[in-house]
């Protein structure tokens, strides 16, 4: 049995590590030109601890520190951190619960993917890099109802994503366009060969996304 003190130490270590990785992944989005103000974000999950590390809301990237990253459990309860977590947290928690092998979620408003999302069209697969990552079209969710938008928008966004994967294998299709909104992507691995770093790389590889 691990003592309470030992566990707390381990938890803090895992927390610090997750916070650093999430900070780095967010700064990577900035470097790739996929960020406007503080609207985008990446978060990650430590499956062994059941803890999620997420970007705080409204903190500019220029001054963001690892200590600003908020740590929550899978119910959204804050375990560590004094700032307010990104409003996308409710969406991401739905995804972590529905898709047990994903390690991170990324959300951007990159120009071209957002155009497809706003047109409510899946992005057809025309190229090799697209095929390597998505194994077919990038799917698009159904448009959300006015009720779903007005009642609990972020959580309902998660539900809309999950419904889209009823007939898709989320481990083979690492991203989706939320109709009228933009792309959400996930990552299942960390190494270069596994392709993916908390979803960041998939986000950057969405067809037509990068300059």
Chain residues binding a copy of itself by CB under 8 A are 33, 36-39, 58, 109, 111, 114-115, 117-119, 126-129, 180-182, 192-193, 201, 204-205, 208, 210-211
Distance CA 188, CA 81 (A): 26
Are the C-beta atoms of 196 and 38 separated by less than 8 Å?
A: no
C-beta closer to a copy of itself: residue 103 or 196: 196
**Interstrand relation of 175-178 and 104-107 (parallel, antiparallel or unpaired):** unpaired
Long-range Cβ pairs for the range 60-67 (8 Å, 24+):
61/26, 61/27, 61/30, 61/35, 64/23, 64/26, 64/27, 65/23, 66/16, 66/19, 66/20, 66/23, 67/19
Least separation in angstroms between CB 95 and a copy of itself: 17
- Distance of closest approach, residue 164 Cβ to a copy of itself, in angstroms: 17
For the CB of residue 128, give the shortest distance to a copy of itself in the complex, in Å. 5
Least distance to a copy of itself, CB of residue 80, Å: 22
Between residues 161 and 205, which has the closer beta carbon with respect to a copy of itself? 205
Radius of gyration of the chain (CA): 17
User: In angstroms, how far is the first alpha carbon of the chain from the final one?
Assistant: 52
Nearer residue to a copy of itself within complex by CB, 174 or 182: 182
- Alpha helices of the chain — where are they, by DSSP H? 4-31, 89-98, 111-119, 128-134, 146-164, 200-205
Nearer to a copy of itself, 74 or 119 (CB): 119
CB of 155 to a copy of itself, least distance (A): 15
Specify the residue, 15 or 141, whose C-beta has the smaller distance to a copy of itself.
141
């Amino acid at each position: 049995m691990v003592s309470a003190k030992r566990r707390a130490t381990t938890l803090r270590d895992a927390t610090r590590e997750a916070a650093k990785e999430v900070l780095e992944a967010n700064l990577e989005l900035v470097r790739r030109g996929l960020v406007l103000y503080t609207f985008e974000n990446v978060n990650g999950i430590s499956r062994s601890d059941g803890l999620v590390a997420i970007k705080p809301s409204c903190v500019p990237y220029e001054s963001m520190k690892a200590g600003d990253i908020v740590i929550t459990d899978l119910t959204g309860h804050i375990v560590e951190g004094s700032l307010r977590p990104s409003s996308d947290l409710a969406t991401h928690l739905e995804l972590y619960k529905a898709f047990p092998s994903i390690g991170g979620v990324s959300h951007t408003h990159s120009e071209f993917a957002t155009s497809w999302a706003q047109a409510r069209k899946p992005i057809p697969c025309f190229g090799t890099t697209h095929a390597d990552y998505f194994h077919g079209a990038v799917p698009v969710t159904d448009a959300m109802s006015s009720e779903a938008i007005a009642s609990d928008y972020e959580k309902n966004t998660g539900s809309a994503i999950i419904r889209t994967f009823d007939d898709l294998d989320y481990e083979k299709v690492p991203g989706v366009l939320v109709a009228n909104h933009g792309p959400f992507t996930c990552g299942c691995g960390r190494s270069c060969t596994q392709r993916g770093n908390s979803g960041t790389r998939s986000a950057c590889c969405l067809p037509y996304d990068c300059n």
